[in-house]
Chain A
Amino acid sequence: MSATYERFSLRQRLEHIAMMTLFTILSVTGLPQKFFEATSSQWIMDALGGVDRARWFHRAAGIAFAVLAIVHVWGAVWEVVVNRSRLTMVPTKQDFRDAIRTLRFYLGVEPSPPRFDRFDYRQKFEYWGLIFGAIIVIATGIVLLYPVLAARWLPGEFIPASKVAHSNEGLLAFLVVIVWHIYNAHFSPDVFPFDTSIFTGRISEERMHHEHPLELERLVSHSSGHTNNAPHP
């Protein structure tokens, strides 16, 4: 049994499970509304007990999603401001250099891939994509949930524009998860068949060495032995 490091706190793991559940509910109840012409959409709607009930689930899950987003942002701000944690998720110039170097490595121009710290540029991209996507779907979702109220403060055209933005942003998020996240968490040769660290919270020393060498070096230099107190983002 090789040594492991803590990668995700319990709170982060629970947030991921909540996110995963809500994302699934929102996709199942939301996408058939966008692709209303497909027979499978009609089928899903019927299976859920009709479009009105599906919308009820969608709205309930959406509100829970908004609460989760607030809980997450609050937690992140608390970590940074109160616990003075390192800004491991903030994109830096190095991330852009890493992205270019990775592409050069893939194309065979560079002999080796870049060496990453706690979060590589792909993980940061996905995290911030989710944050900005969440801002859009939550804001437009509120407009669509309370159109009469929204039209009191905003021009009426914001309502159909919100519908377009909400459904397209939802589709984009769905595709990113299906294509990118599922690949990186399951099908990538680096982790196949299943990257378990978001559920167990731990990552092997071997993978640390391979995927997060800079973080591993820092941890080793800070203490002579292995530590279970790896910094949170």
Chain B
Amino acid sequence: MTHALALLLALAMQPPTSPPADTTAAAAPAAAEAPAATPADDDCLMCHSDKELTTTLGNGETRSLFVDPATIKASVHGGALGCLDCHAGFDEMPHPTTSFQTKRDVSVAFQEQCTHCHFATFKKTLDSVHHVAQARGDTTAPLCTDCHGAHNVASPSKPRSRISQTCAKCHAGISTVYSKSVHGKALVDDDNPDVPTCTDCHRSHDTAGPHESDWRAHTPEMCATCHGDKQVMDKYGLSVAVHQTYLTDFHGVTARLRGSRDDSSMPVIARCTDCHGVHDITKTDDPNSPVLKANLQKTCQRCHEGATESFPDAWMSHYEPSWSRTPLVYAVTLGYKFLIPFMIGGLILQILLHIWRVVVNR
């Protein structure tokens, strides 16, 4: 019963990015029966509890065939899946012969087993950069088990910092940079639930990155999922106007009108990360922040070659035009707010009077 409870708990704690729909299907019968280990498992363990049990692969690599039942028991699948659920066909004795050349071949072949229960999630991975790498023949591209583990599958986001640790297995450089950023530090030091971890921006199964123009084009929306949320931003004294003011500025308008047409052949149009940084993002008042007044000229120069000291004043720092901050912009805006209706209203009035006179004089 405790196993069933633990399983249900694990399911309830699943990150929202992986839909539970496909996992519950597998979990339901298990929750009802909740056997600690099927008799079949005990049969398997007769041999596989032997720590010395190995097999030799085609390329001469030895692979351990030892299974620690405690590991499986502690995993999210503990009590739910038996050996044969993943290792189908291995109930035959002797086991069917396989022709695996490398350990990696074994892992690739067994990925298929995950899809039996987690098909929807697996389908999502087909849209990921990792799948693209795999399709190109990159054998290091991650399989289910590379991120989730095999016998030791645990909830990937408990604690949340586990997510970035998982990605760091391959993306160590980026992970180091990230862990020093305002987001990463809060995640690592305080297990802050509000800061984004890798998968919040790059997604978990349909993982995407900046080489995908559509993903890059949606950077502002991505940042705005948190930076446009007043409840979250109020906690940190941050403004939610950042998104809207960006969208109505020249950069934002261009980004929006380009939409997903945007690609690397076009001149770069600044999105959030182009000024604020990406994995190395800092607080805006950090002395190293690229958007700090003292550093802004240099930041502008990345695109605007030769930008002088007064050039960054062209950027209104995510503020709406106001009399106190940008009096000229404010005055011009206000002036036209009156001039246009006054002028056009007057002309329309004169036209109507003219028509009326013509009608009356007929």
User: Which chain A residues have a beta carbon within 8 Å of chain B's beta carbons?
Assistant: 32-33, 36, 41-42, 45-46, 50-52, 103, 105-108, 147-148, 151-152, 154-161, 163-165, 168-169, 171-172, 175-176, 179-180, 183, 188-189
Contact = CB atoms under 8 A, between A and B. Distances in A.
A152 B308 CA distance: 6
Contacts of B348: 179
Contacts of B109: none
Interface stretch (B192-200, B233-241, B327-335): B327-335
B103 interface: no
Contacts of A156: 310-315
25 contacts: A32-B257, A33-B253, A42-B257, A45-B257, A50-B261, A52-B258, A52-B267, A106-B353, A106-B354, A147-B304, A148-B304, A148-B306, A148-B307, A155-B328, A156-B310, A157-B313, A157-B326, A160-B315, A160-B326, A164-B321, A165-B336, A169-B336, A172-B336, A172-B339, A179-B344
A51 B16 CA distance: 36
Contacts of B278: none
Interface string B243-262: 00000001001101111010
A12 B329 CA distance: 37
A164 B333 contact: yes
A45 B257 CA distance: 7
Nearest to A167: B336
A148 B305 contact: yes
A36 B353 contact: no
Nearest to A125: B347
B332 A164 contact: yes
Residue in B266, B316, B347 whose Cβ sees the most chain A Cβ within 10 Å: B347
Contact of B357 (A41, A106, A176): A106
A200 B316 CA distance: 50
Contacts, number: 113
Given A108-B360, A168-B340, A159 B314 contact: yes
Interface string B346-362: 01101101111110100
B326 A51 contact: no
Given A103-B353, A164-B332, A168-B333, 14 more contacts: A36-B257, A51-B257, A106-B354, A148-B306, A148-B307, A148-B308, A151-B313, A157-B326, A164-B321, A165-B336, A168-B339, A175-B343, A179-B344, A189-B355
